[in-house]
Structure 1
């Protein structure tokens, strides 16, 4: 009898862990981690040399970034569950695969939204209403306009998602030093430029998936040659913004030593998608661009702690 109880207890623990992992996957862990970096690195840069002087403060602000990303990503997964079930790339996500029920997802979205909104309100009481304003802007951009309204209506849908990409950077910087400097604004503009480039590179790889799901993306309405021209133009603009940040920095050597090779690689991949349209170079551009923005942000932080 004892071994049966132990076996049942073990089975329950396994089920709980599997369910917890499914909730974690609902919040899109890769995007969650990337979003946290977009918040954390600007915060560390702006608050230097006091970035680690108050661990509790950093923990609370990190909780704000993490719960907000979990709320927005899980809401997107919930509302896009019919699309995800059609697309080969996403059909193994928790809702299409059946590892979570619709009601379980609804409960998780509601609880994570409640938690993130309460933390945002609390942080706003301490650091000012701009935090809550930026939170609302990100929610409106990601969930309201992009997910619920424009994603299934226009091939330019990802442009409306761009403000949500910039918000973690702006929030992190503001909480780090109490203001939004020209450098933080340029970083935010870089993020809004990066968003469409990154997502259109992805859509160029999975064009048939988007066509099957009837989701208009630029590669589904234009030929890949024209999409390549647009992505190369965006890469040129992003490169110019990235390098312009060096013009306002008193110390810029380390920043340039890192960003110039990274920007050169970005331009090379985007140029290749223009000259050789197809999934090969689009996939390489998509993968490299995943790291490009964190690399640029980290190089700025590194140049702050090592002023050369």
Structure 2
């Protein structure tokens, strides 16, 4: 068994039990690699919310609720996108595209996970966190997947707001409120999502054209796309530096170094396209994951140790 393009693929020889294929199909519907990225941002947000003293049980319960919410939203996204997943090479091996899982069963599975996430968070954290999770699922499925994705080249700009919500849920689980550091963390991921997604879409733009999805790289020139990537990269780095006002010196130092590195990569991609040189946008996509992980890991360590601030308001 291995992960390919965000979904699980069974490499077992022919004749393997169909039940295993079905189970792998259900797991693949939840997009495990996407969930992993979302949960990586939740723990640092919780640690920052109450620097150095967060109950491990509360962290565990919040992660379970977040996992259920993300799994439910991703499954419902797969149900809505089953038709285009069959057309795109990047997604043609997903469970619904291959009919490994019946679409009606996937719908029930997604709804069950979504409802379970709401009640789990309500029971183990607080009502605000539960409502934020429910709103996130509704926004991702109804607004992004059904309304924006097939209608506008700015789909991931606004649809990416759903991916920002784990930090809000984590913060609210600890404090019962939403305060400005949570909003800044939201903006970090909000601004990070377009360059991350568009870099991947540049590699697979023919897939989006074939599926009729107006992802920006499928409807704009490479120079226009990389210029937008550069702008959003600058906004991402600016947001990470703004968060330093609520953190210690370790996070601030890492944010400066990692931000410089991320900006250099985005500028190199833009400059290469302007010069008409062959570029590798997939490199920026992969490294953007590392960038976000490094920044939030530094935030987690900084918050857990309650280090003194480098900057102060």
| TM-score interval, normalised by the smaller of the two chains | 0.7 to 0.9
Displacement of 1:226 after TM fit? Answer: 1.0
Partner of 2:4: none
Q: Distance in 1 between matches of 2:216 and 2:240?
A: 25
**3-state SS of 1:94 partner:** coil
Partner of 1:302: 301
Displacement of 1:113 after TM fit? Answer: 2.1
**2:22 maps to 1:19:** yes
Displacement of 1:122 after TM fit? Answer: 3.1
Partner of 1:244: 242
CA contact (8 A) 1:204 1:279 kept: no
Which residue of 32, 38, 42 maps to 2:41? 38
**2:133 maps to 1:113:** no
Q: Distance in 2 between matches of 1:145 and 1:83?
A: 17
Q: Distance in 1 between matches of 2:16 and 2:171?
A: 41
Q: Distance in 2 between matches of 1:204 and 1:47?
A: 40
Structure 1 runs, 4 residues or longer, greater than 4 Å off = 11-14
Q: Distance in 2 between matches of 1:118 and 1:15?
A: 32
Q: Distance in 2 between matches of 1:302 and 1:134?
A: 26
Q: Can you give the 5+ residue segments of structure 2 that lack an aligned partner in the other structure?
A: 1-13, 309-313
Displacement of 1:86 after TM fit? Answer: 0.6
**3-state SS of 2:92 partner:** coil
Q: Can you give the 5+ residue segments of structure 1 that lack an aligned partner in the other structure?
A: 1-10
Displacement of 1:213 after TM fit? Answer: 0.6
Displacement of 1:58 after TM fit? Answer: 3.2
Which residue of 253, 257, 282 maps to 1:257? 253
Range moving further from structure 2, 194-203 or 85-94: 194-203
Aligned residue pairs: how many? 291
**3-state SS of 1:96 partner:** coil
Partner of 2:200: 202
**3-state SS of 2:151 partner:** coil
Aligned pair in 2 of structure 1 residues 88, 186: CA closer, same or farther (>3 Å)?
same
**2:268 maps to 1:267:** no
Range moving further from structure 2, 39-48 or 157-166: 39-48
TM-score (norm 2): 0.85
Larger C-alpha radius of gyration, 1 or 2?
Answer: 1
Q: Which has the higher helix share?
A: 1
**3-state SS of 1:95 partner:** coil
**2:276 maps to 1:276:** no
Aligned pair in 2 of structure 1 residues 26, 230: CA closer, same or farther (>3 Å)?
same
CA contact (8 A) 2:66 2:133 kept: no
Q: Distance in 2 between matches of 1:92 and 1:216?
A: 22
Q: Distance in 1 between matches of 2:109 and 2:15?
A: 20
**3-state SS of 1:117 partner:** helix
Q: Deviations over 1:91-147 (max 9, x none)?
A: 011111232222331231232122123224435xx62x4223322331232111110
Partner of 1:99: 100
